[in-house]
Amino acid sequence: MNLVFLLEEPSAKDLLEGLLPKLLPEGVTPYFLVFEGKQDLEKQLVKKLRGWRRPNSSFVVLRDQDSGNCKDVKAKLTKLVVESQREPVLVRVACTELECWILGDWAAVAQAFGQPKLSAHAAKPAFQNPDQIVRPVESLRKVIPDYQKRDGARRVGPLLDPDRNQSVSFQRFCSGLRRLVAKRA
pLDDT for 56 equals 94
Q: Are residues 49 and 21 in the same domain?
A: yes
Residues 93, 29: one domain?
yes
Contacts of 155 (CB under 8 A, 6+ apart): 112, 113
Q: What is the CATH number of the domain that holds 59?
A: 3.40.50
pLDDT number for residue 53: 95
The pLDDT score that the predictor gives to residue 37 is: 97
Asked whether residue 68 falls in the same domain as residue 128, the answer is no
DSSP-derived letter for residue 161 is -
List of residues 6+ apart from 72 with CB closer than 8 A: none
- Total structural domains in the chain? 2
The residue range of the domain holding 11 is 2-97+167-184
Could you list the mean pLDDT of each consecutive 10-residue stretch along the chain, which spans 185 residues? Answer: 97 98 96 98 98 96 94 96 95 96 98 98 95 96 97 98 96 97 88
- Quote the pTM value: 0.96
Instruction: Give me the pLDDT at residue 167, please.
Output: 97
Give the per-residue pLDDT at 16: 98
Decide: 98 and 153 in contact? Cβ < 8 Å: yes
User: Do 91 and 135 share a structural domain?
Assistant: no
